Amino acid sequence: MPNNPLSWDIFGYYLYLPFSFIYNDLTLQNIEVLQGIVETYSSTDTLYQIFPLSSGEGYMMKYTLGWSIVYSPFFFVAHIIALMTDYPADGFSAPYQVSIFIGSILYTLLGIWVFSKILVHFFKQRIAIILLLLTVFGTNYLLHNTMYGQNSMSHNVLFTFYAIVVWCTILWYKHKKFKHIILLGVVCGLMILMRPTEIVCLIIPLFWPDKSIHSLKDRISFFKLYKKQIISFACIVILIGLPQLIYWKLVTGQFIYTDYGNAGEGLDFLSPHTIDVLFSFRKGWFIYTPLMLIATASFIILYRKNKKYFFPLFLFFVLNLYLVSSWSCWWYASSFSQRALIPSLVIMAIPLGYFIQALLRSNLITKISVFIVMGALVFLNVFQTIQFHKGVIPGDRITKEYYFAVFGKLSVDQKTKDDLLLINRNIDDKEGIPNLEKYEKRTLYEEGFESLGNSIKQSYSGKHSFKLDSSTIYSEPFVTPYRKLTDKDHVWIKVQAMIYPTEPSIENPTSLFVCFQYKGRPYSWRDFSTSKNPLPANKWSEISMYYLTPEVRTKDDKLNVGFWHRGKLPVYVDDLKIEVFEMK
């Protein structure tokens, strides 16, 4: 069990439960309670799981509430235990952590059980056992569902729910019973509520084959024949989604709210990162889970051997891959291989099974040769899982050069990491001076405000400066797209300026800010604030800061540098200078 299962993303999924049933504060009006919990249990380094409401009153949960509903039984059990013992009944103490962790294990076991039933439905027991072993030990399921409390993440439950969707679909098309369509509706509704892009799961029941269906017209007639059950299914899915719509309406005034609280993240449907998702050394599915390359190619065999299943399964594979690839943070933070594709392993096992079925009917030499290759791929997956565990393979910074430098190794020296990994974006670029030995410096922009200035009362150089006051709270920002800064993955930016406060800066705060904008919306904001860095009044002072560019959403995202005045009395700024440090 990890030190605290209720941390990071899981912390964000879980917040609905304690703040609904213990604190009665779904808009987090009393943010100090949450801050105290984070301090007590070390749940997260930053509160990225919430974001402030536009009204300025309270905060909104970043994630949808599906996960909280799925784990609510274990929360209530833990709450009863906490009330009956000396543990704090605060929603985050040991009983809650242990209960959620046990719940995760139960979901894992349920998923494996239902998955096994699907495999036995399609294949002989021998092939089903091989597929089960390949899925568990030959893919990133091994790490993300068994280690570090990762089984508490959404992909574990989604794997289980996909197995239930496929199994219930099989049962409903066979028996046409209400109980199967109701369970199917509940599970599909919960999946979409957990992650809205899982709406792709509807492809499975909508396009599953039936002996009476030979065309689209037949399928429409088939659904009309069972329209009461189909309508019941649709109503259940919609009803399960209602709590989220109500929450959004109460908190934002809108029934549908698609803002993720960070303009730097989102779905980019017109520019999916499919090649990176599959083939990049940073997080390529086929690089770190190469068994899935065979599974994907096996759709050809599925088409030849059982064409009626090819269309729904391949359509799901393509659309699901498209949705996963469309997320701007396509590497899905610190993880091993593509964790967002773990739920689809349920589907991928079916074409892979037809490949193994064909393999077992081939000649002995082919059979032995291919099984040796597959065994090697399983070994590679297990070995790379161990590398990940030992920190040889980091969660999201790998390059092609680093991958081959540590290939087959269980240890790595710091110099190799420093030289070959992508930049560490977890470092604090707001404090201190970064090591810029490997960078070349160039001046990007200098502004003495001789033409843009609005004051001649004070100036550090020349005759003009820019005056900020209650009527002019922003300077004209410097703006340039990322593609004009560099063609590399990052640069460091140094911004410096002279500033002249007319009153103590703590009481009359001004910020020198740097950020990027996606379609006019800012993200990755950093600033040098005079409220936190006091400056003397009636005197020119130099201020400066270093800024590491973020993982920009598009190369056209714009760098913005400027001043923001939040006080009432005048502040003068002069001699703005922006320097760029680019890797040699």
Backbone angles phi, psi at 94, to 5 degrees: -55, -45
Q: What ranges do the domains of the chain cover?
A: 97-390, 439-583
Q: Dig out the tokens for 287 from the structure.
A: 């690089």
Task: Go through the chain and tell me how many residues it has.
Answer: 584
Cα distance between residue 16 and residue 373, in whole Å = 47
Q: What contacts 354, CB < 8 A, 6 or more positions away? A: 298, 301, 302, 305, 306
Whose tokens are 């906490």? That residue is 82
Backbone angles phi, psi at 231, to 5 degrees: -65, -40
Cα distance between residue 483 and residue 387, in whole Å = 35
Cα distance between residue 273 and residue 371, in whole Å = 32
Taking only the tens place, the pLDDT of each residue in 507-536 is 899 999 999 999 999 999 999 999 999 999
| DSSP per-residue string spanning 131-149 | HHHHHHHSSTHHHHTTSTT
Q: Dig out the tokens for 432 from the structure.
A: 């201190």
Give residue 151's pLDDT.
Answer: 85
Cα distance between residue 198 and residue 340, in whole Å = 11
Taking only the tens place, the pLDDT of each residue in 471-483 is 999 999 999 999 9
Instruction: Answer yes or no: are the C-beta atoms of 420 and 402 closer than 8 Å.
Output: yes
Whose tokens are 């490997």? That residue is 438
Q: Dig out the tokens for 544 from the structure.
A: 């400066």
SS3 state of residue 170: helix
Give residue 432's pLDDT.
Answer: 67
Nearest to 231 by CA among 193, 185, 186: 185
Whose tokens are 């088939």? That residue is 222
Cβ atoms within 10 Å, residue 390: 12
The pTM (predicted TM-score) of the whole model is 0.95
Low-confidence ranges of the chain (pLDDT < 70): 1, 428-432
SS3 state of residue 76: helix
What dotted CATH number matches 439-583?
2.60.120.260
Give residue 119's pLDDT.
Answer: 99
Q: Dig out the tokens for 436 from the structure.
A: 């810029």
Cα distance between residue 14 and residue 549, in whole Å = 31
Cβ atoms within 10 Å, residue 79: 20
Instruction: Answer yes or no: are the C-beta atoms of 265 and 332 closer than 8 Å.
Output: no
Cα distance between residue 376 and residue 380, in whole Å = 6
Q: What contacts 202, CB < 8 A, 6 or more positions away? A: 188
Q: Dig out the tokens for 216 from the structure.
A: 């689209």
Element at 484 (helix H, strand E): helix 482-485
Instruction: Answer yes or no: are the C-beta atoms of 152 and 101 closer than 8 Å.
Output: yes
Nearest to 333 by CA among 283, 390, 391: 283
Q: Tell me which amino acid residue 194 is.
A: M
Angle of CA points 140, 142, 144, to nearest 5°? 70
**Strand 558-565 vs strand 478-481: parallel, antiparallel, or unpaired?**
antiparallel
Give residue 145's pLDDT.
Answer: 87
Taking only the tens place, the pLDDT of each residue in 440-485 is 999 999 999 998 888 888 999 999 999 999 999 999 999 999 999 9
